[in-house]
Structure 1
Amino acid sequence: MSSVNSTQSHPSSFILTGIPGLEDVHIWISLPFCTMYILTFFGNCIIVYAVKTERSLHHPMYYLLSMLSATDLVLSSSVLPKMLAIFWFDSREIYFESCVTQMFFIHCFSSIESGVFLAMAFDRYVAICNPLRHSAILSTSVIIRIGLVILIRGVIISLPVCFLLIRLPFCNSRLILFSYCGLGIVAKLACAYELINTVYSLTVAFLVVGLDVTFIVLSYMLILRVVFRLPSRTARLKALGTCGPHIWVILTFYILALFTFLTHKFGNKIPLYVRVIVANLYLLVPPMFNPIVYGVKTKQICFRVKKMVCCNRGK
């Protein structure tokens, strides 16, 4: 048998522990996680289907909402099925290639989600601050180009993360004290984590999230300035009502992301199972809440869903 200190290009597979310290209650933890995934899957599928089939929803805000729902579907589906397999069937092994693929999807679609939030903030800014030119500024072709830019950005910044990890030498340890393959967790198993990996990961994180958050905050500051200058109280409330769901969803996503990052980097005194649960919720809660918030707050989507339900009952 090889010594513990020996190295290899990379192991054939890793072993995921699920939630360390709570292995005895994995089956109970799986119940709320499974419920969240079911709500996420059907809720986001309904949003995408409603926007696709209802002509009255063929507008920039709803196109961006369908992009967000598609992103949430991919992001949650890249993590939850394997996590539930660990909880239900004790299927802890994950091949190295599958681990890297999962890592790519998590980083790529987290970046895409952040980019979609920025695009939605810009859409609200144009709709409120320059309503007469909204359809001209954000035409369907412009929305498609924005979506492609967001997708390409996510792929471009995520691929180097995976390639930098693949080239690292790994020790014999294959145990990942986590329920999915996160970059920082897997990198800790490498025998030598080079400075370029750390610098690149932190630079990308701060640039992408930092720039997106900065422009989102700037957009809503400009929106609020215009809203509070409106002469009618009804108009002000209506404008704030259109922004409310966006602000709620954005805050949920970034607060959980920040808390996950801080507990991972500086939360050594926090129990490991708490850090793992928080990291899981970061990938599960926003995708579940997004369709609920937008579905309840958006009259057109509610109408389309009711119409779908009534048609199905009629059949």
Structure 2
Amino acid sequence: MTSHRNGSTEVSDFLLNCFVRSPNWQLWLSLPLSLFFLLAMGANATLLITIRLEVSPRELMYYLLSLLSLLDMVICLTVIPEVLAIFWFDLRPISFVASFVQMYIMNYFLAMESCTFMIMAYERYVAHLPSTRIPIHHH
């Protein structure tokens, strides 16, 4: 939707179009999408609970895995419910502010996820380096 004021165009809402226009296909695609969404949320929640209950708090890798699970949950919650709302209820309008917030969250959290993977890889690299101790000779 657009509104006109003084010869300029101001955007107030966007219409989100998913890749499928057929209502029958939308229903069939929403079933596996909702199952994958529930699986991702459940698996990440299980991982977070397991780490919290079972793991020594001094292990850096488990902090990073917890962070990765939280980031994954936020990313899933940012996009998938919106797509399911379009599929199930045809709720395609989204405000400019909501669209901006969604894009910001996606870009920010995907970058955080990439940095977390980089830190995890570096931590594993350092953990597997051979110990290089310099022998001390006493005279």
- TM-superposed CA distance for 1:115, in Å, is 0.3
- TM-superposed CA distance for 1:56, in Å, is 3.0
Counterpart position of 1:302: none
Do structure 1's residue 44 and structure 2's residue 39 form an aligned pair? no
Secondary structure in 1 matching 2:56: helix
Secondary structure in 1 matching 2:94: strand
The one-letter code matched in structure 1 to 2:43 is G
The one-letter code matched in structure 1 to 2:48 is V
Counterpart position of 1:12: 12
Stretches of structure 2 that go unaligned for 5 or more consecutive residues are: 133-139
Give the 3 Å change call, closer, same or farther, for CA 2–47 of structure 1 in structure 2: closer
- Which of the two has greater helix per residue? 1
Contact 1:19 1:26 in 2 (8 A): no
Contact 2:47 2:66 in 1 (8 A): yes
Give the share of equivalent positions with the same residue, in percent.
Answer: 36
Note the aligned Cα RMSD (angstroms).
2.3
Do structure 1's residue 95 and structure 2's residue 73 form an aligned pair? no
TM-score normalized with structure 2 length: 0.83
- TM-superposed CA distance for 1:116, in Å, is 0.5
- Which of the two has greater strand per residue? 2
Cα distance in structure 2, aligned partners of 1:2 and 1:96? 13
Do structure 1's residue 116 and structure 2's residue 116 form an aligned pair? yes
Give the 3 Å change call, closer, same or farther, for CA 131–39 of structure 1 in structure 2: farther
Counterpart position of 2:136: none
Do structure 1's residue 77 and structure 2's residue 74 form an aligned pair? no
- TM-superposed CA distance for 1:62, in Å, is 1.0
Counterpart position of 1:160: none
- TM-superposed CA distance for 1:32, in Å, is 0.9
Counterpart position of 1:65: 65
Contact 1:75 1:109 in 2 (8 A): yes
Deviations along 1:153-172, one digit per CA (max 9) or x if unpaired, are xxxxxxxxxxxxxxxxxxxx
Give the 3 Å change call, closer, same or farther, for CA 24–129 of structure 1 in structure 2: same
Secondary structure in 2 matching 1:17: coil
Give the 3 Å change call, closer, same or farther, for CA 97–52 of structure 1 in structure 2: same
Contact 2:13 2:95 in 1 (8 A): yes
Deviations along 1:88-128, one digit per CA (max 9) or x if unpaired, are 11111111111100000110111011001000101110111
Secondary structure in 2 matching 1:42: helix
Cα distance in structure 2, aligned partners of 1:24 and 1:7? 39
The one-letter code matched in structure 2 to 1:114 is S
Cα distance in structure 1, aligned partners of 2:30 and 2:42? 18
Deviations along 1:226-265, one digit per CA (max 9) or x if unpaired, are xxxxxxxxxxxxxxxxxxxxxxxxxxxxxxxxxxxxxxxx
- The higher radius of gyration belongs to 2
Cα distance in structure 2, aligned partners of 1:26 and 1:56? 45
TM-score normalized with structure 1 length: 0.38
Map of 1:133-152 to 2, 5 A cutoff?
A: none
- How many equivalent residue pairs? 129
